[in-house]
Amino acid sequence: MKLPRPLLVALLVLSLIVVPSKADLDDFFNGFGFHFRHGRQQQQQQEQQEQQAQGNDNQDPPGAQVNEPRGSYIAGAYGIGGSPPPPQQTAVQPAEPADFKPAQTVITNNLGGLSVGFYDRSCPNAEKIVADWLAELIKTNPSAPANFIRLAFHDCAVGGCDASILLDSIGQGDKVEKGSIFNGMSLKGADLIDDLKMRLEEECPQTVSCADAIAFTANEAMAIAGGVRQRPLGGRRDALNSLATLADQNLASPTATIDQMSAIFKRLGFNQEEMVVLLGAHSVGTAHCDLFMDRVYNFRNTQKPDPVLPLPYVEDLRRLCANPGTPQFRNPNVNFDETPYALDNRYFKNLVQNKALLLSDSSLKDDPRTGPTVRQMAENDTLFPKRFAELFTKMTTFNVLTGLLGEVRKTCRSTNN
């Protein structure tokens, strides 16, 4: 059959057309912003590679997660558990400026939303300011490390590590933790943090929290005293409340039993071995005579010293605490051991020899649950400083406020409102 001439021309034109490949079609349409499915996959892969190459530039800074919950309230160290503290108010934060660049930090530990190097970008000299300040302070106040280690314990033990121990008053007018019978005149170091906070504010206004100021100072104090040095975790925020009643309920007397202390430390997440190591904080510092006077002069109303105490030790203590009638906290201080400025195992060696100032400490050696750890610490000069540093870091991460919870106080003695 003979085809019409117009049809033959049309077929000839079609035979000269080259059918483009799928890749050619993608290249053609991509130029106009259209993408087929496999083209989108290639673009996504390219974008992922670009993001990986950029590193962490677009990530949120560790420890600053929005609405990160605070841990449940647990009774603090050295005391009997009480009611949970009043709920913390959540501060509404303004949006970050357009040119804000979150800190790039190397996280070597992440407990409670905290991170190493938290202030590397926002206040890079923060840790150095703390270290330099403490080094200068120790020249005139060699007891400062012991005071700051105790201050950190007493802060973290009552509701968490949130600088509630530094507040002078709260809006409700209730007595604050400073007014507790377990703090009061015996509390040392809280007033010194004021000077440190002023220096931090001059460097980086309203950036470094008072809670981190306590933790950083205690960490540096521990290292200076002989604990294994480690870079501190940062990112804590400050509490809005402080109640003396909670401190009264959660800080124990020097006569606490092992059962009482074990229950407390268990609620804090520590077993009995860890409890014994943390009680080794008594390796540094001193105690007022009235905290152990009855063991020296009138143990359990016997008119005799505690029979556990060696007689030469009793005589030494009577020379140091010569007047049992001295008003509370106005009598002399006595060193816990012969090396009051060194965080070493001398404290445990004394426990083995029954030379413990506090009744709570003296019971550790002979109890089968705690005695093995006491002897292990006493026999190994290098083990205690290492274990204490590890557990002290864990202690100072207890029940912290992070993210949008709490606030960063301008001054440590009062809230911002």
Q: Specify binding-site residues for Ca(2+).
A: 155, 158, 160, 162, 164, 177, 337, 339, 344
Res. 263 pLDDT band, cuts 50 70 90: confident
pLDDT digits (tens, 9 = 90+) for 183-205: 877 788 999 999 999 999 999 99
Q: Is the pLDDT of residue 405 over 50?
A: yes
Give tens-digit pLDDT for 127-151.
999 999 999 999 999 999 999 999 9
Please report which confidence band the pLDDT of residue 42 belongs to, taking 50, 70 and 90 as the band edges: very low
- Run of H or E including 275: helix 272-279
* Greater model confidence, 390 or 81: 390
Evaluate whether 214 touches 148 at the Cβ level (below 8 Å). Answer: yes
Q: Helices marked H in 139-254 — which ranges?
A: 144-156, 190-203, 210-225, 244-250
The per-residue pLDDT for 265 is 83
Is 38 part of the annotated catalytic residue set?
no
* Residues 6 or more apart whose Cβ sits within 8 Å of residue 128: none
- Kindly provide the b/e burial profile for residues 114-128, where b requires at least 16 CB atoms within 10 angstroms of the residue's own CB: bbbbbbbebbeebbe
Percent of the chain residues past pLDDT 70, beyond the cut: 73
Evaluate if residue 52 carries a pLDDT over 60: no
* pLDDT at residue 252, rounded to an integer: 74
- Name all contacts of 127-130 with Cβ < 8 Å and 24+ positions apart: 127/216, 127/231, 127/232, 129/196, 129/199, 129/200, 129/203, 130/196, 130/200, 130/213, 130/216, 130/217, 130/220
In this prediction, residue 187 carries a pLDDT of: 83
In this structure, are residues 105 and 57 in contact, taking their beta carbons and an 8 Å threshold?
no
Give the C-alpha separation, 289 to 73, whole Å: 34
Section 303-327 average pLDDT:
92
> What is this structure's pTM?
0.73
Work out the mean pLDDT of the chain and round it to a whole number: 78
Instruction: Delimit the domains of the chain by residue range.
Output: 63-92+103-254+392-417
Coil, strand, or helix at residue 55?
Answer: coil
Cα-based distances in Å from 39 to 21, 30, 45, 49, 173:
14, 8, 10, 16, 66
Structure tokens at 243: 């109640």
Angstrom distance (rounded) from CA 388 to CA 269? 15
Give every CB contact of residue 314 below 8 A, 6+ residues apart in sequence.
296, 305
Q: Which residues contact 322 (CB under 8 A, 6 or more apart)?
A: none
Span 63-92+103-254+392-417 CATH architecture: Orthogonal Bundle (1.10)
Backbone angles phi, psi at 116, to 5 degrees: -70, 140
Binding residues for heme b: 282
pLDDT tens-place string over residues 331-366: 889 999 999 999 999 999 999 999 999 999 999 999
Q: What is the mean pLDDT of residues 244-262?
A: 86
Residues 340 and 243: beta-carbon distance below 8 Å: no
